Chain A
Amino acid sequence: MERLEVKNLNHSFGFTKILQNINFTLQKGEVLSIVGPSGGGKTTLLHLCADLMDVQEGSVTNSFVSSSFAFQEARLLPWKNVIDNISMGLLAAGYRRRDAIEESKKIALRFGLEERDFEKFPKDLSGGMKQRVSFARALVLKPSLLFLDEPFSALDIGLKKELQTILIDMISKKEISILFITHDLMEAIRLSDEILLLKADPGHIVKKFSYTLPQHERDDAFVYEQSAKILQDEEIIDTFELRMK
């Protein structure tokens, strides 16, 4: 069974402790999100899970067959056009060039890019388009596990919804597992099976919230209702410092 298991994870930068005793397991087909205020060590945790940083203490065991990463910023190669950017991951995975280009074109169309955009360089794309390309680059690999680092935070609501719909579609077909960090509670509620609340200084998990309703059955009413509920929670108020002073 594919899974990501984090055990007793601790991490420090110099003398500053960033993460303390983090434990969780992400099973195949699950969406797990980590919410918490900015600067709380979320990105560090995600980088440790994705093997972009070396684990200092504790363990991260990733048995998913494949994974890919979508960053908060698009991080496209400025000297490559849209299609070449999308195909990078495929080429790195050993695809033949022609196949990689073909797959990339298919997914680009699915992500709302148009044929006339294919030859454009990133400098000629809007922020939203760049993020579409970045998503396409991550998902064209059909990863078993997807790491998302607040990828929706800079997008307008329309595009946010569009990309989330694509993800929800994949989730309901059990095609993908997602580890997702965000500071947006509504986003987390819409997408996750489980939400971990990460409190800062040093980052540690204070609470878990679980949602059993399948993602494609969650409507706006559900999201608003759950958000309202979660915002009453003492730990949430404390972690996000929501209390009126």
Chain B
Amino acid sequence: MKFALKILKDFPAYLWSGWGAVASILLFIAFWDAGNQVYGDLVLPSPLETFKTLSVMLSDESVITEIKTTLYRASIGFGLSLVLGTSLGLLAGFFATASMMSRPIVTILVGMPPIAWIVLAMIWFGMGDETVIFTVIVASFPIVFVGALQGTRTLDGELKEMAKSFKFPWHMKFFDVYFPHIFSYVFPAWVSGLGMAWKIVIMAELLATSNGIGASLAVARSQLDTPTALAIVVIMIGSLMFIEYIILEPIKREVELWRD
């Protein structure tokens, strides 16, 4: 509770520190506009036109429904890999044999291109929610799993010994010695897992479903509707940036204050 309050208290200062980021985004939009002037509206619509399309889309009920569908799939998929990846990763980390054996499996999971998973999932589950959710899980699970595994494997033996010498009860061992260390590995893994899930959900929808923002992107492509396609990209990037910079980064800063 105290912790949450501290995050809120430091939030304005954090936002204020974001002017540099805003400047760099504006610079990027300036280059985008230059690209529009060189290549024309069909290839690269201007930022202004894109944002106009975006605001029209966001006031449209049906587009909101598509976004909700995508959010649902992404959160189910990511939520499952978060729970599974974290718990299995911790479990594997506590046993030397399990962590040794899981390494090659993780390599297979990471090495397999997501597009191949989509094809397999389409064969196994058909065209629908399951295919998308499965692909999201398969793509983001190994990232979370490896984070949890590494966190547990790198626990400091000297600190464990210290805890033993002071006869820490089990709850202190867990909350004061193990948890902060493991969390400092698991949390960044969650963040990158989330980024991965968000990218994969769009790709899987584009290929395997008839609804969701991915499918809308496919429709925009077939109708050569570049402004809509770009507006969808803006939705994707914007939401990811919001989650990462407005929600996760302040938490991460507070959690990792003790780090060098």
- Tell me the chain B residues, 162-195 only, with Cβ under 8 Å from chain A: 162, 164-169, 172, 176-177, 180-181, 184
A50 near B177 with CB under 8 A, answer no
Which chain A residues numbered 34 to 91 have a C-beta less than 8 Å away from chain B? 50, 52, 68-69, 71, 73, 75, 77-80, 88-89, 91
- Please state if A91 and B258 are interface contacts (CB–CB under 8 Å): no
Asked if B166 and A89 make an inter-chain contact with CB atoms under 8 angstroms apart, the answer reads yes
In the complex, how many angstroms separate the beta carbon of A83 from the nearest chain B beta carbon?
14
B111 to A: closest C-beta gap in Å: 34
Q: Nearest-CB distance from A145 to chain B (Å)?
A: 12
The answer to whether A92 and B169 touch across the interface, beta carbons within 8 angstroms, is yes
Contacts of A121 in B (CB 8 A): 257-258
Tell whether, in the assembled complex, residue A92 and residue B172 are in contact, meaning their CB atoms are under 8 Å apart: yes
Report the interface size for chain B: residues with CB under 8 A from the other chain: 20
Kindly state the separation between the CA atoms of A52 and B260 in the bound complex, as whole angstroms.
Answer: 30
CB–CB A79/B165 < 8 A: no
- Decide if A123 is an interface residue (CB 8 Å cutoff): yes
The answer to whether B258 touches A69, judged by C-beta atoms less than 8 angstroms apart, is no
* Shortest beta-carbon distance from B144 to chain A in Å: 21
Contact indicator A123/B165 (Cβ below 8 Å): no
Whether A52 contacts B258 in the complex (CB less than 8 A), given A73-B158, A77-B177, A79-B180, comes out as: no
Across-interface contacts of B177 in A (CB, < 8 A): 77
Chain A, Cβ-Cβ closest to B257: A121
**Bound-state Cα–Cα, A75 to B165, Å:** 11
User: Do A75 and B159 contact each other (CB < 8 Å), given the known contacts A52-B164, A88-B166?
Assistant: yes
Asked if residues A91 and B158 are in contact (CB atoms below 8 Å), the reply is no
- Given known A-B contacts A79-B180, A89-B166, A121-B257, A52 and B161 have beta carbons under 8 A apart: yes
B2 adjacent to chain A (CB < 8 Å) = no
A121 to B259, CA, bound (A): 9
Q: Across the two chains, which residue of chain A brings its CB closest to B162?
A: A75
The answer to whether A71 touches B257 (Cβ under 8 A) is no
| Contact of A75 with B166 in the complex, beta carbons under 8 Å | no
Q: Are B166 and A92 in contact (CB under 8 A)?
A: yes
Please name all residues of chain B whose beta carbon is closer than 8 Å to the beta carbon of A50 when the two chains form the complex. 165
Are A77 and B166 CB-contacts (below 8 A) given A91-B172, A121-B258, A123-B259? no
Pick the residue among A68, A80, A93, A122 that contacts B165 (CB under 8 A): A68
- A122's nearest neighbour on chain B, judged by CB, is B258
Q: Which residues of B contact A122 (CB under 8 A)?
A: 258
Contact A92 B168 (CB under 8 A): yes
- Chain A residues with CB below 8 A from B159, complex form: 75, 77
Q: Which residues of A lie under 8 Å from residue B257 when comparing CB positions? A: 121
Q: Which of B158, B166, B181 contacts A68 (CB 8 A)?
A: B166
Please report the C-alpha to C-alpha distance between residue A69 and residue B162 in the assembled complex, in whole angstroms: 8
Chain B proximity mask over A88-110: 1 for CB below 8 Å, otherwise 0:
11011100000000000000000
Given contacts A91-B172, A92-B167, A92-B169, contact A78 B258 (CB under 8 A): yes
Binding site for B on A (CB under 8 A): 50, 52, 68-69, 71, 73, 75, 77-80, 88-89, 91-93, 121-123, 137, 147
